[in-house]
Amino acid sequence: MVSAKASFSQNIWKLNGIRLLFWLHFFGPVLVPFFTQWGGVTLSQVFYLNAWFFFCNFLFEAPTGALADRLGRKTSLAIGSLLGFGAAFLYTAAPMMAFFLAAEAVFALAFTFHSGADDALAYDSLKAMGQEKNSKKILSRMEAFKLGGILLASLTGGFIADRWGLPAPLRATGVAMLLSFFIVLLVREPGAAGPKRNPKNYGKILKEGVGFFAGHKVLWILTLEAAAVNALAWAMIWLNQPFLIQDGLPLKYFGFVQALSVAGEMLVLSRQPFLEKLFGSKKSVLTGGGILTGIAFIILGWAHSLWVAIPAIILAFTFGLTRLPLFSSYMNKYIPSDKRATVLSASSMVRTLGIFLSMLTIGKGLDHWPIQPTAMVIGICLVALSVFSRIEEGHLKD
């Protein structure tokens, strides 16, 4: 019989597999063409759709986090995987805005059932083994598996679309999410984190978790810092493909640019101790990463050459979208186990609201401005936010 410690150790690898499968987003390399060419919507409408997606995330985050604490994180992950499977096929039901809006809502619900629950389950598995000190390494590795899924999907999604049409990558994504559900069934939940014999009332769990988060100054500072920079950096997901089209890169090569970007993210996540030595402190890693992301947006807005645009895109992805595992690790040090999923979801809720407002604003801007000045304004804001960060080195506990 497998010991409890060995079982929880296996949890980590199962969670890595779940992350990889859930993030096999084969649609990534052709995301904008799917909406604009197959779906018939404008680029600004794509941003509005993404804003709707994150508004739904905002509404669902805290309730699904509390459900994860109430019913168990394993149950939450299972529901999320099944919902993701359904949403992926709903997108491709017909090229109509109504289907896109419905699919975005279901997809948002799927993501919120996963959000916080897998991090919480991983941290509590480490805690059950007495290895909480390894949380930054383990959570960064989980993020690397997520990026590995995106990387693999990036290299193959364009070919899937070329062979079977633009809707095909979304359907392949749905199948991968269904496979993640079967791995979830093999996870063993630590006793302290699983559903209790006499569980607390759902409303009480939600109130206590959100109340704990709302009253914790350091958690708020970390959350707002993560939210502000991530909300703006997120725009690169939607802007990079229009820039590549504008600069003349054939569609079949889009996946390679995304793959190089993901490889950069994986490299950064795997070299955190080295980066802390290079930059001089944990705070400097976060500040420097935000500044480099801002510079990348500014360069992208200024350049009109693929030789400049592609490195700028890679730089923005590499430093702009690798911060959240670090923030999750730092925040976990302040959160009690029985409130972990709810508090992490409340924090994610704030970040989600930030992306919603960012996508709405950028989409409105694109109704009036070309993408070049839009990118430059985003870059300037990123640099300013990073320079005037309120994070202190003492907040960042290992």
Res 198: pLDDT: 43
Question: Which two three-digit tokens encode residue 371?
Answer: 């993408």
Q: Is the pTM of this model over 0.95?
A: no
**What pLDDT digit, counting tens, does each position of 179-213 carry?**
999 999 988 887 644 454 445 566 777 788 778 88
Identify residue 166 by its one-letter amino acid code.
L
Distance between CA 363 and CA 238 in Å, rounded? 10
Beta strands, E only, 166-211 = none
Distance of CA 302 to the CA centre of its chain: 27
Closest CA to 15 of 267, 271, 186, 191: 186
What number does CATH give the domain 4-190+203-395?
Answer: 1.20.1250.20
Res 197: pLDDT: 41
- Contact (Cβ atoms closer than 8 angstroms) between residue 122 and residue 77: no
Res 375: pLDDT: 94
- Contact (Cβ atoms closer than 8 angstroms) between residue 20 and residue 149: yes
User: Vertex 231, ends 287 and 324: CA angle to 5°?
Assistant: 60
Distance between CA 262 and CA 244 in Å, rounded? 17
Kindly report the number of other CB atoms within 10 A of residue 217's CB atom.
Answer: 9
Return the biggest CA–CA distance within the chain: 65
Residues contacting residue 311 through CB under 8 Å, at least 6 positions apart: none
Could you say which residues of the chain have pLDDT below 70?
Answer: 1-7, 191-202, 341
Closest CA to 385 of 233, 279, 217, 234: 233
Res 39: pLDDT: 94
Residues contacting residue 182 through CB under 8 Å, at least 6 positions apart: none
Question: Which two three-digit tokens encode residue 39?
Answer: 């779906």
Res 291: pLDDT: 95
Q: What share of the chain is helix, strand, coil (3-state, %, to 5)?
A: 80, 0, 20
